[in-house]
Amino acid sequence: MSLNSVFSQKSYKIFVRIAAALAIVILISSIITNIFIYKPDSQEEDALKHLIILVVENSIAIIPCIFILINPKFDFLIAFDAFLFSVEIAFHTPENVMSIYMFALGFVVLYATHRLDKNRIPKLIILGVLLIIEYLFAIRFGAVVFLSSLHLLIGHVFVLSLILYFVVFALKRKSNENSETSNFTLNTKSINSTVLNLAEYPELKQSDVDLLKYIQEGKSYSEIAAKIKSSEGYMKNQFAKIYKTLSVTNKKEFLVKYGESKIVFEAQEPALASD
């Protein structure tokens, strides 16, 4: 499967819908699971508050997923859910690295859906302020937790940047290789579509046409020698002279340049002198 087919518009819509459906299932199952494990008799008041927040938060996050499931053009709403959970995770558990990845997901989605194309600087400033606020939450847990979460932020941002760079680099290199292969094929076809007229080379003769056609057919020097009842050594010497005349160094270069050319020996008739 090629990259073009994987990232085609049709495949993208299918992927976004599947992602939205899975997100809905995960969010609903999270609500159900937390409701079942909650026991009013044995839980503290904070646990009930946490359950209510989780139910409300997940319910809000389900709404954008439904829009995306109906119509993938709302794919940018993935960023809303990503930032929502990034803030929630950073607020409750600042050392949880998932907040970093959710924030990174939100940023990448905004970029990929061209939501940062207009007014990019103000939007980036807002995102930067949001990221700073998220990690200021850790101050309420003490200096040690704050410094630890800050260290995690720097480390994971660095790793994510490296991953992103090498992914883009790999895709770019693949694209360049495909482009070069396409150009080489086009150039080869343009070369191979020509007619090679041996009569234009005084050193060559009519019988050389058959010899070069044998090469085009993939026959070896020994096979050609057997056909014309000659020795392999003689054939190699003969072809060396032909290749030199045609400005190629060996059989491989000849096939690249003239592998599909029509080989003929058509002498030009002298032009009639005018009276």
Write out pLDDT tens, residues 190-237: 454 588 888 888 889 898 999 999 998 888 988 898 888 888 888 899
Residue 36 pLDDT class (50, 70, 90 cuts): confident
220 or 274, which is more confident: 220
Which residues pair with residue 196 across a beta bridge?
263
The 10 Å CB-count burial string (b at 16+, else e) for 73-112 is ebbbbbbbbbbbbbbbbbeebbeeeebbbbbbbbbebbee
Decide if 83 contacts 130 (C-beta within 8 A).
yes
Q: What is the pLDDT of residues 113-149, one digit of tens each?
A: 888 888 889 988 998 898 888 878 888 778 887 788 7
**Six-digit token string for 7:** 């990232």
Task: Give the whole-angstrom CA distance, residue 50 versus residue 73.
Answer: 33
In angstroms, the Cα distances linking 61 to 27, 66, 80, 221, 256 are 8, 9, 8, 73, 59
Decide if 123 contacts 116 (C-beta within 8 A).
yes
CA angle 146, 141, 59 (to 5 degrees): 100
pLDDT mean over 105-119: 86
- State yes or no: pLDDT of 248 exceeds 50: yes
Task: Give the whole-angstrom CA distance, residue 245 versus residue 200.
Answer: 11
The 10 Å CB-count burial string (b at 16+, else e) for 232-263 is eeebeebbeebbeebebeeeeebeebbeebeb
Number of C-beta neighbours around residue 36 at 10 A: 8
